[in-house]
Structure 1
């Protein structure tokens, strides 16, 4: 029986779900040097690594992991995995391409509804026994407003579908956009500068890459409409938080809702936390977290683990170049 190593969280769910096909091991040490040492020790004997954003998967982590056959990510994004190094080492990395699409898209829409109606300020006002805050909360209606999507993958397309249903005009920027598909959904493909200039609400749905890291910065913000609303449910590193903070305070941004930050959890006195009265929402990277998404993640991960345990290649390998690597060929064939 192969060994599945989960170096974060508890392992009880994995034992219950996958224990009949793999031996599941986790980490017992609390945070600190002892935990790091335990992770490095256990990864050297495992066959499958279950990975998520809670751990950086790099060359140092897998050093000496001679038995490692595959890395199975529970998320869509793989930005926490050094893909070139895994490919060089002959280790396939499988993601979960259909995970939490509806969950994240619906959460993005809930954040949009909340900030355009200034819900954070209203909630704080009631908590402070200020019922008259209702006269200060106001907001805008979304019908006939323009939603700009930065990224038009599965989640972006689902947001487009939901937004179109309430009468929003949807435009999208994506270097790899299928323009025919976008057009069939009533979405207009635009360049990023056009999106900044036209959108009343901007929602980010692109992966974190070297190209997108820090793309929402002072320069980008200056190109946006006055009074624009900004939502990010993708990855925190896409925005420059110091610039966002400055543009909230100078009034250029009418509202910001972030489910992701550059460092998670953030520092106790993070400048964006506590700005509810300035129409800022910060949530703890929870857009993915629904019962339905969790079930989908389980079923897909189970499928990948079963394939590996049977000597087959996982179905959703993102580094397909690995399939010609000599170590991979020796491991699987």
Structure 2
């Protein structure tokens, strides 16, 4: 391929871009990189790009309007709420995500948060360090066998979470109106509507995309519908859960605990009320991370560009574009 092509990397948190360069430079791509934070910065970097790789930078309608000959936008990760999908579709630009790079890592993290919350491990560790030694600490702690794990969403990560939870002897239910009945049956999972999911889950693990339908789904009303002994785990998107409503629910004892890897505003403010609640654990949006998944993310994202520019169809197009 003789023509020089440009891939614009709007922003990234990786040590380097060796994975992407090894795959795309042989095709004639040159790299333009930035750490863009505003649409104006993104537009300036990407206006003449043939392909875009983006992590968190806003690729909104004004950016897409400024693109001269871009053929693909790839998001490093699963969620695509930083990209205007409709504007890209109008321009005929496929938006592609990478949903399969960290399924095991996120599932492992979700289960780890569940175990740490239900077993109250951080609190017990803190007690021991403070000189308190109790063989039945932080009562009540309940066993997992026979309890119900529910997942909001039933995609790849939710299924991996349920598989792990079933190994602990937990029953499983899931809410996902877009998944067929036979998929539930194959995995021994009971289909639930939203109200049943909230009412029956002893542990509720969130695995929803962020969109107009799901934003704020975990509201005051949702927490009021849950068991007072229930726990919530969120490793999907922060905007699904109303953090203020969660703090109120925890303070009032409407649910027993929560563990969050994502919040609508990140990083979390140091004086955030959730950080003052023992029954809430917060990790730093790191569920996706392992050294293995880091390499897969970069490689899989670059492969989607390579596919398009070598005559193949990208595997994970998320907007309605004919390629």
**TM-score if structure 1 supplies the norm length?**
0.87
Q: What is the alpha-carbon distance in structure 2 between the residues aligned to residue 316 and residue 134 of structure 1?
A: 50
Q: Could you tell which deviates more after superposition, 70-79 or 117-126?
A: 117-126
Q: Which runs of 4+ in 1 moved over 4 A?
A: 35-38
Whether 1:209 and 2:211 are equivalent positions in the alignment is yes
Contact 1:232–1:257, Cα closer than 8 Å, also in 2? yes
Secondary structure in structure 1 of the residue aligned to 2:149: strand
Partner of 2:289: 289
Partner of 1:230: 232
The change in CA–CA distance for 1:9 and 1:76 in structure 2 (over 3 A counts) is closer
Unmatched runs of 5 consecutive residues or more in structure 2: none
Report the CA distance between 1:9 and its aligned residue.
3.0
Secondary structure in structure 2 of the residue aligned to 1:323: coil
Q: What is the alpha-carbon distance in structure 2 between the residues aligned to residue 56 and residue 178 of structure 1?
A: 34
The change in CA–CA distance for 1:91 and 1:232 in structure 2 (over 3 A counts) is same
Alignment of 1:24-173 (within 5 A): 24-27=31-34, 37-52=40-55, 54-127=56-129, 129-132=130-133, 135-138=136-139, 139-173=141-175
Secondary structure in structure 2 of the residue aligned to 1:162: helix
1:169-199 CA-to-partner distances (Å, cap 9, x unmatched) read: 0011111122212112111111111121111
Report the CA distance between 1:207 and its aligned residue.
1.0
Secondary structure in structure 1 of the residue aligned to 2:274: coil
Partner of 2:321: 322
The change in CA–CA distance for 1:118 and 1:24 in structure 2 (over 3 A counts) is same
The change in CA–CA distance for 1:97 and 1:16 in structure 2 (over 3 A counts) is closer
Contact 1:15–1:24, Cα closer than 8 Å, also in 2? no
Report the CA distance between 1:224 and its aligned residue.
0.8
Q: What is the alpha-carbon distance in structure 2 between the residues aligned to residue 99 and residue 11 of structure 1?
A: 15
**TM-score if structure 2 supplies the norm length?**
0.90
The change in CA–CA distance for 1:16 and 1:211 in structure 2 (over 3 A counts) is closer
The change in CA–CA distance for 1:9 and 1:274 in structure 2 (over 3 A counts) is farther
